[in-house]
Structure 1
Amino acid sequence: MGQVRFTAAVEVGQVAVGQLAQHWVPGLLQIPEYARATLAGEALTAEEVDQLATARIKRQAILRRDHPPLLVAVIDESVLRRSMRGRPELMREQCEHLVACTDLPTVQIHVVPQDTGMYPGLGGPFTIAEMEDGTRYAHVDGQVKAQILDQRSEIATLERRWARIVGEALPRAQSLDLIRKAATSWT
C-alpha cells in the first residue's frame, strides 16, 4: 500500500487511529501556521509548502464528520516545549488548539512527560490505523522515506510497542493539564 493509498484509506475507512509523535504535533492536530513551520526547513517552494500544509489541514475534517474515527495521539512532552523558530505565540496557539481538540468526543491526547527517561517511543514516530473490516495498517516515518506496513507480524510488533508507550504516558486529564501549562509558558 503506497503513501497516497494509505492517506486515502485513513481519510475514508478507518475507525481508530493511534499516533505517536515525538518531534512535532501530529498533522491531524496541527494549526495551519504550525503545519507550514514544520515544512519550512525542507527544500520546497513557498507554493509547495502552502499546498502541503493546506492538504494536511483539510485531512482534519475526518475528526468532525458524522462517524469520526477514534484518534489517540501520544505526544512526547518535548514537542510542547520545542520552539518554532523563535515564535512563542505560534507554540502557544498550537498548545491551545490541542486543548480545544480534546473537546471532540473521539480525540484523546496523552503526553509522555520529559522525566520518563528511555521508553519505546524514542524509536520513532508511527501511526496505526484500524479499518472498518478490522484490517490494520501502519505508517512509519523516516528521515528519507516513510514506510507503509500491512504484514500482521509487523503490525503486532508496533501494537505491542504502542501498548508500552501508552503505559508511559500520563492519563488524559493530567496530559491536558500539562498541555495547558505548556501553553501558558509560551507567553
Structure 2
Amino acid sequence: MANIKQLDPFASPLDYYGAELRRLREGAGLRLADLGEIVFCTASLIGQIETALKVPTRDFSARVDAALNTDGMFSRLVGLVLRSQLPTWFQPFAEMEAKATYISTFQVQLVYGLLQTPEYARAVLEMGNTARVDELVAARLERQRILDVAEPPLTLVIMDEAVLHRPMGSSELMRDQLRHLLDCGERPWLQIQVLPYSAGAHASLEGSFTGLRFQSNPEIVYTEDLISGHMTANPETVRDAARRYASLQAAALSREDSAKLIKRVMEERYGPRSAVSKRPVA
C-alpha cells in the first residue's frame, strides 16, 4: 500500500489547501493522473500540492475549481496561501497594507514592492533567498493585487534617483521595470516622484519608510532594518514621518518631471529593447 503523507489541515493555509484538494479529488473518484489530465498538469505536481510541497498558482486554482465544481473555493483560498509565503515578520505589514486607503512611501534602494515587475522582484529576492524564490515572487505579485481592486488605495511613491540607476539584472529587465513605472504613474490614484541627486541632503537620510492610513484605524509607520520590519502607531512617530514626507515631496521632482527623468534614464542607461525580445507581428 502506498505511503500517503497525512496532512494537518490546520498547520498552515498551504496544508489546508492540499488537504482539501485531496479530499475533493478522491471524493470525485479521480486519481492524480485523472485530475492532471483535466487541468493540464502532471500528476506529480498535483501530488506535491496535495502534500504541501508546492505552492499553487491562481491559474491552477481556477482550473481545479472548474474541474471539481467547487464554486470558486480554491480561487478564494489561494490568496491566503500565497500571502502566507511572505516572511513571517513581514506578514503583519502586508495585511495592514491591504487594508489601507492611503499609502505613502519613500524608497532609497529599490522600487517599491507593489510596483515591481515579476523579473525585477525575482532579481531582488534571489539576493537573499534562493531556496524559495518562486514562492516569494508569487507572494509579492499577490500583494500587488490591492492596486487592481475596484477602490484601490491612494498611493504616493517617492524614489531616490539611485533606484533608477541601480541595475538589478540585465538592461532589458531594468528597461521593462522603468517602463512599468511609467505605466503605473499614468493611473490617477498612483503618484510617482523621483528625488533627484541634485536635492542633496534630505529629510530621510536614515532610510526608507512607509506610512499607511485607514478608514478608521490609527495611522501606521513602517520601517525595516537588516533582518526584520517594524510598525508603530505612536502619534509622535507618525507626525514626524508626515513632516519628513512633506519635506521629501517638496524636494522631489513633480510627477511630470519625474516621468521625464525615468524615461530618460530608461533610454540612455538601459538602451533600446533588444530585437530578440520583440514579439513577432502576426
Q: Deviations over 1:158-184 (max 9, x none)?
A: 111111111110010000111111111
Whole-angstrom distance in 2 between the partners of 1:67 and 1:18: 17
Equivalence for 2:130: 45
Q: Does 1:168 align with 2:259?
A: no
User: What secondary structure is seen at the aligned counterpart in 1 of 2:187?
Assistant: coil
Whole-angstrom distance in 1 between the partners of 2:122 and 2:220: 27
Q: Does 1:80 align with 2:164?
A: yes
Work out which of the residue numbers 54, 60, 67 in structure 1 matches 2:151.
67
Aligned counterparts, 1:139-158, within 5 A? 139-158=222-241
Matched AA of 1:79: V
CA RMSD of aligned residues (A): 1.3
Q: Does 1:8 align with 2:91?
A: no
Q: Does 1:58 align with 2:142?
A: yes
Whole-angstrom distance in 2 between the partners of 1:94 and 1:179: 10
- Find the structure with the greater CA-based Rg: 2
Q: Does 1:17 align with 2:103?
A: yes
Q: Deviations over 1:29-52 (max 9, x none)?
A: 00001001111111x234x12211
Indicate the percent of aligned positions where both proteins have the same amino acid: 33
Q: Which runs of 5 or more structure 1 residues have no equivalent in the other structure? A: none
Shift of 1:148: 0.9
Runs of 4+ in 1 over 3 A off after TM superposition: none
Shift of 1:134: 5.4
Shift of 1:144: 2.3
Equivalent residues, number: 182
Whole-angstrom distance in 1 between the partners of 2:208 and 2:201: 15
Shift of 1:121: 2.5
Alignment check: 8 A CA contact 2:212 2:220 kept: yes
Whole-angstrom distance in 2 between the partners of 1:166 and 1:149: 22
TM-score (norm 1): 0.92
